[in-house]
Amino acid sequence: MWESGSEAGQEYGVGVLSSSKHSVRTEGFVQRGHSWYVATDIPSDFLVQIGEANFHMHKYPLLSRSGKLNRIISESRDPDLNNILMGDIPGGPEAFELAAKFCYGVAVDLTAGNISGLRCAAEYLEMTEDLEEGNLIFKTEAFLSYVVLSSWRDSIVVLKSCEKLSPWAENLQIVRRCSESIAWKACANPKGVKWSYTGRTAKISSPKWNNNVKDSSPSRSNQQVPNDWWFEDVSILRIDHFVRVVTAIKVKGMRFELIGAAIMHYASKWLPGLISDTTIIQDDETSKCSIFNSSSSSNSITIGGTSWKGGLDMIVAGTKDESSSVQTKEQRMIIESLISIIPPQKDSVSCSFLLRLLRMANMLKVSAALVTELEKRVGMQFEQATLSDLLIPSYDKSETMYDVDLLQRLLEHFLVQEQTESPSPSRQSFFENNMGGSNVNAKARVARLVDSYLTEVSRDRNLSMTKFQVLAEALPESARTCDDGLYRAIDSYLKAHPTMSEHERKRLCRVMDCQKLSIDACMHAAQNERLPLRVVVQVLFSEQVKISNALASSSVKSVDSHTQPLVINRKALIEGTPQSFQEGWASAKKDINTLKFELESVKTKYLELQNDMESLQKQFDKMMMKQKQTSAWSSGWKKLSKLTKMTHVENHQCLSPKVPVSEEQNRKTTRRWRNSIS
């Protein structure tokens, strides 16, 4: 069955174990119901009870090889003690049966299925070399070291069988050694992997991030061996043993993408419903894990397909089944363990997987520290999230349907991450493959995601306006180049909350920039009766400014460059706008065109009136100037005429004979002259 190097004094060569010495000749054991008897002529004088099983044995073969039985009988006050209860023996009746056969010299077939139980039972019975050379502890330990640990298949089976042997398997280092063996083989070059080790017959597709590896297998079938060939075999292990294996693989230096893919595969198998689109395609026959069936011995372990997948079903909130509490504890332990072993590097697992794991963690009340750590991991790659994964229900008896506070925390972690670190190459490759370009802004994508989330949760009437505003204003203004999505969310919130006051509507609309709305959004907003009147005026004004700028542009290319993004925004808006929003847009266009025409006519009339007023003002100014000039000249001419007359009289008096004039008359004449001049 197995090839192993035999040593002197060992007779287990090909998996058959027997004692070199025996004092009671027997042909084997006979089972009658729950009792076992030795097929010999000597009557039994010793009874060992293990649970419901009764073993009718002889003292000497057992005492000669078991230090525990020797000590129990020697310490007993009853010298004729012939009945011992051993209900706590590891491995149960099956392991004791094999140990008893070894004591009687009956050949025992060692397999990967029974070696761990037999090794723990030998330790329990203290079957050491002090009692007999080549005792059971030595031989089982040699079989583990030289046969089991050199085989991938046997290491998996032994580690699986250790689940019922705690803490004995841990203390005897069986779990550690098997985990190390599995880790070394998983990290080995896939070219050295033979499909006979795993027994797989169906092709297994690698995750999308492992497609760059093209190693071929030198096996007889010349089948290509992907790097994830070990996922299925390791996924049958219990969560604590799986953690030990993954931890050992991390130490060996395996790529974090493969470790993350193995964790996702394990979660999809043990947490049904967590992942809808499993990356690994497996055949029905492959899922049965028939490779772990051993046909060489009747005592070998048989692992069926349902034995490993069953027992951990999705727990639906509100079920009252008695077993649900046990299953809930198991699932909580699995989730906590998986969170603790996820590699710290970005993109080691998908954001969708992290969000679904976070959903189950909140539902199952996982410890707060691990939930916080998981939220930080989601924030590291938040731009890869989808709306369906973000709609996480509120499990803490909150009034809202969805956990809006959780999204707020995720957004804060994303912003902190964006400020501290630059985008990784893996994130850029994600955008190149999924978004169609490497220059996609992560904040812009997150902004669109948040707007879609707000549109969805705004229909909840229990959602407060404060939470809506805080979430809408969490991102910086530069993250949104267009506020159409935010406008849809605001309109949806106003529609779901018709009793809001005018002041509250104005507060809500402050989170939106009317200048960032597209033409179609402006058309819809112009006839939206739910919006405050002031917001409608702002929308019309911003639209008028856009039209004026477009008309003022003299270059056709610049006009095309302005209209092209508007057309793109229009298509995006129509695709993402609900049907109820689109119904009134046709009539809104006509109303907008009418308003534009009236606005232009009013503007023309205003310009005409302004020109008329300016001309009238000029005429009035001219008339006033003429009146001022006429009054000044008339008064001046009158003064000049009086002065001329007086000068003419004086000259006439000088030429005529001198007539005596009184001083009083001369004084009056002088005074008049001064007055006229002044």
SS (H, E, C) 566-609: HHHHHHHHHHHCCHHHHCCHHHHHHHHHHHHHHHHHHHHHHHHH
48: Cβ contacts below 8 Å, ≥ 6 apart: 54, 55, 57, 62, 84, 86, 96, 100
* Structure confidence at residue 8 (pLDDT): 31
Return the sign of the alpha-carbon dihedral for residues 59, 63, 65, 71. positive
Query: Which percentage of the chain shows pLDDT scores above 90?
Result: 36
74-86: average pLDDT: 80
Comparing 230 with 654, the larger pLDDT belongs to: 230
Domain boundaries, the chain: 28-150
| CA separation for the pair 365, 328 (Å, rounded) | 10
The pLDDT-based confidence of 248 (bands split at 50, 70, 90) is very high
Q: Kindly tell me if the per-residue pLDDT of 536 is higher than 60.
A: yes
Q: Kindly tell me if the per-residue pLDDT of 117 is higher than 60.
A: yes
159-179: average pLDDT: 93
Evaluate whether 444 touches 479 at the Cβ level (below 8 Å): yes
Q: Highest mean pLDDT range out of 62-71, 303-312, 525-534, 639-648? A: 62-71
| CA separation for the pair 160, 112 (Å, rounded) | 10
In degrees, rounded to 5, the angle at the alpha carbon of residue 111 between the alpha carbons of residues 109 and 115 is: 100
Q: Which two tokens stand for residue 620?
A: 């009035």
The pLDDT-based confidence of 332 (bands split at 50, 70, 90) is very high
What type of residue sits at position 89? I
DSSP assigned state of 198 = H
Evaluate whether 517 touches 542 at the Cβ level (below 8 Å): yes
Evaluate whether 176 touches 244 at the Cβ level (below 8 Å): yes
Evaluate whether 472 touches 489 at the Cβ level (below 8 Å): yes
Evaluate whether 413 touches 421 at the Cβ level (below 8 Å): no
The pLDDT-based confidence of 259 (bands split at 50, 70, 90) is very high
| CA separation for the pair 70, 92 (Å, rounded) | 20
Task: Name the residue among 355, 339, 490 with its Cα closest to residue 414.
Answer: 355
Q: Which of 32-36, 91-95, 439-443, 629-633 has the lowest mean pLDDT?
A: 629-633
Comparing 45 with 243, the larger pLDDT belongs to: 243
Evaluate whether 458 touches 468 at the Cβ level (below 8 Å): yes
Q: Which of 28-32, 152-156, 332-336 has the lowest mean pLDDT?
A: 28-32
* Structure confidence at residue 658 (pLDDT): 46
197-202: average pLDDT: 43
* Structure confidence at residue 515 (pLDDT): 85
Average pLDDT, the chain: 75
Residue 296, number of CB atoms within 10 A of its CB: 12
Residue pointed to by tokens 């994303």: 414
| CA separation for the pair 619, 614 (Å, rounded) | 9
* Structure confidence at residue 637 (pLDDT): 54
pTM comes to 0.68
444-453: average pLDDT: 93
The pLDDT-based confidence of 148 (bands split at 50, 70, 90) is very high
* Structure confidence at residue 279 (pLDDT): 36
DSSP string, 520-541: HHHHHHHT-TTS-HHHHHHHHH
Evaluate whether 383 touches 347 at the Cβ level (below 8 Å): no
Q: Which of 57-61, 429-433, 547-551 has the lowest mean pLDDT?
A: 429-433
Beta-bridged to residue 84, according to DSSP, are 48
For 28-150, give the CATH class: alpha beta
